């Protein structure tokens, strides 16, 4: 009996063990299946986040590329301009064409014959702009770009990613394109008080009256003025209703740095700063701050390249030879004068590092700058003074000569042409101060 019970017990225990083993295996199988499901779901989510991060990265770079293309397209279009008084007007058809052409070269769908103010596939060009603070201003161009961006994940969620960019550029401005600009609005602002005929090569503009006290003003192109008194002959015509041309407000010497050495005087009489005479008999002086510079009739001076800042009332007086050894700019403080009245050789010129400004004067006197017409030319030079004379508060007095006293331009509050028969100013864009451009404004 006992053996039967033991056998039965053994079988029961074996059955229980088998049942437990089966349940354990079944539980492990269920757990394995759950883990696989979780892994699959996690992988899907991770892949989604990865795809979304790729979409976001593509969106960032696509927007950056679109903005770069819009910026450069606007600048390219703004290169197309025509000079007017006083603004610069963009040549509409050329600007639209070139802006579209640049967008094509950077992979945006459009065509070079696209119309102004019309979306052409992915690009729109507006001359003048239709939106923003520069809307309807003719010397600005607006470029807009838009594109639908293909996505890896956002599209599955029903999200469309659009790329857009916008840029506005100001027209290219080459300068005032004037031989003479008289800023005074009074009577007169520009006047002739010289010989029988004083010549200007280029155009003249007077915000006030152009008056002949004696002689005749002969202008090769246009003569603009509020009113003309006396005889003025202009090859392209006299204009009295032109829009106002304001002061360009150029900084001294184009904003070039000034060497702030202690002020000294230079008059070749043995001061410590006097340079050694070279083998040709010229004395060289360096840029810096001077009380005054006085060149006697017997002196021969060369100016090294740089800014010459003059602070005292004696100013700059040139009676002898004065030659640039490089681009120079004379920065004249208020109360100083620049007076070149001798008969020596003179060839002073400026450069782009000074915005082509040769003389910048803060003086408000009636003799801020005075240039006589008796200087002789240095062989190889085109004029005694090459650059822009800018005297926004005072008067420039010019004498004429057969080759022109100034090659470049003259901008002053008042301008007096006092020479005999000859040419006072020859407009030359290579020596004229400019107005920066083109430039992005939005």
**Where does the pLDDT of residue 330 fall: very low under 50, low under 70, confident under 90, or very high at 90 and above?**
very high
Model confidence over 174-209: pLDDT tens digits? 566 789 999 999 889 998 886 667 888 999 999 999
Rounded average pLDDT over 299-314: 91
* CA atoms of 92 and 75, how far apart (whole Å): 14
Rounded average pLDDT over 214-226: 88
Residue 329 has pLDDT above 60, yes or no: yes
Task: Look up tokens 């990613």; give the residue.
Answer: 161
Model confidence over 22-51: pLDDT tens digits? 445 445 444 445 555 654 555 555 555 555
Other beta carbons within 10 Å of 224: 28
For the chain, the domains span 66-170, 180-437
**Per-position b or e across 58-78, b if 16+ CB within 10 A of its CB:** bbeebbebbbebbbbbbbbbb
Q: What is the pTM of this model?
A: 0.66
Residues 6+ apart with CB under 8 A from 320: 295, 296, 297, 298, 299, 300, 301, 342, 344
pLDDT of residue 28: 44
Q: 5 by DSSP, 3-state: which?
A: helix
pLDDT of residue 124: 92
Could you give the C-alpha distances from 360 to 38, 92, 122, 398, in angstroms and in order?
79, 36, 49, 16
Lowest mean pLDDT among 105-114, 222-231, 267-276: 267-276
Other beta carbons within 10 Å of 50: 12
Could you give the C-alpha distances from 160 to 46, 51, 171, 352, in angstroms and in order?
21, 14, 36, 50
pLDDT of residue 34: 53
Other beta carbons within 10 Å of 33: 10
pLDDT of residue 29: 46
* CA atoms of 5 and 184, how far apart (whole Å): 133
Could you give the C-alpha distances from 353 to 41, 161, 356, 434, in angstroms and in order?
66, 47, 7, 12
Residue 333 has pLDDT above 90, yes or no: yes
Rounded to a whole number, what is the distance in angstroms from the first to the last CA of the chain? 106
Q: Choose between 246 and 334: higher pLDDT.
A: 334
Could you give the C-alpha distances from 83 to 36, 52, 88, 348, in angstroms and in order?
75, 51, 5, 29
**What is the percent of the chain where pLDDT is above 90?**
29
Contact 145, 108 (CB under 8 A): yes
* CA atoms of 393 and 373, how far apart (whole Å): 23
* CA atoms of 417 and 339, how far apart (whole Å): 15
């Amino acid at each position: 009996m006992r053996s039967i019970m033991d056998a039965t017990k053994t079988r029961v225990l074996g059955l229980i063990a088998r049942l437990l083993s089966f349940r354990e295996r079944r539980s492990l199988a269920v757990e394995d299946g759950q883990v696989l499901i979780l892994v699959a779901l996690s992988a899907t989510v991770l892949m989604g986040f990865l795809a979304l991060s790729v979409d976001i990265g593509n969106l960032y770079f696509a927007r950056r590329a679109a903005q770069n293309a819009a910026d450069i397209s606007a600048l390219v279009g703004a290169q197309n301009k025509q000079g007017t008084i006083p603004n610069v007007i963009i040549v509409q058809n050329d600007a639209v064409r070139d802006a579209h052409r640049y967008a094509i070269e950077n992979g945006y769908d459009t065509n070079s014959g696209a119309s102004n103010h019309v979306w052409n596939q992915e690009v729109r060009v507006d001359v003048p702009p239709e939106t923003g603070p520069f809307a309807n201003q003719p010397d600005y161009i607006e470029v807009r770009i838009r594109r639908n961006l293909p996505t890896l994940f956002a599209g599955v969620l029903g999200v469309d990613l659009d790329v857009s960019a916008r840029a506005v550029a100001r027209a290219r401005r080459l300068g005032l394109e004037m031989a003479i600009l008289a800023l005074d609005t009074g009577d007169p602002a520009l006047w002739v008080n010289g010989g029988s005929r004083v010549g200007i090569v280029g155009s003249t503009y007077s915000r006030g009256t152009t008056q002949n006290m004696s002689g005749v003003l002969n202008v090769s192109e246009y003569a603009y003025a509020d009113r003309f008194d006396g005889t003025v002959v202009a090859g392209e015509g006299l204009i009295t209703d032109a829009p106002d041309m304001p002061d360009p407000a150029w900084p001294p010497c184009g904003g070039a740095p000034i060497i702030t050495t202690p002020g000294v005087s230079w008059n070749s009489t043995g001061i410590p700063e006097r340079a050694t005479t070279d083998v040709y008999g010229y004395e060289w002086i360096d840029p810096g701050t001077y009380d005054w510079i006085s060149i006697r009739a017997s002196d021969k001076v060369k100016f090294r390249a740089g800014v010459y800042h003059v602070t005292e009332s004696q100013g700059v007086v040139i009676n002898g030879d004065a030659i640039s050894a490089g681009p120079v700019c004379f920065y004249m403080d208020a109360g100083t004068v620049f007076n070149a009245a001798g008969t020596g050789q003179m060839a002073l010129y400026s450069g782009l590092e000074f915005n082509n400004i040769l003389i910048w004067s803060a003086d408000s006197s009636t003799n801020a700058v005075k240039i006589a017409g008796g200087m002789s030319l240095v062989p190889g030079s085109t004029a005694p003074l090459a650059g822009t004379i800018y005297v926004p508060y005072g008067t420039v007095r010019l004498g004429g000569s057969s080759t022109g006293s100034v090659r470049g331009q003259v901008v002053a509050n008042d301008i007096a042409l006092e020479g005999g028969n000859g040419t006072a100013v020859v407009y030359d864009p290579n020596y004229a101060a400019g107005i920066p451009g083109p430039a992005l404004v939005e």
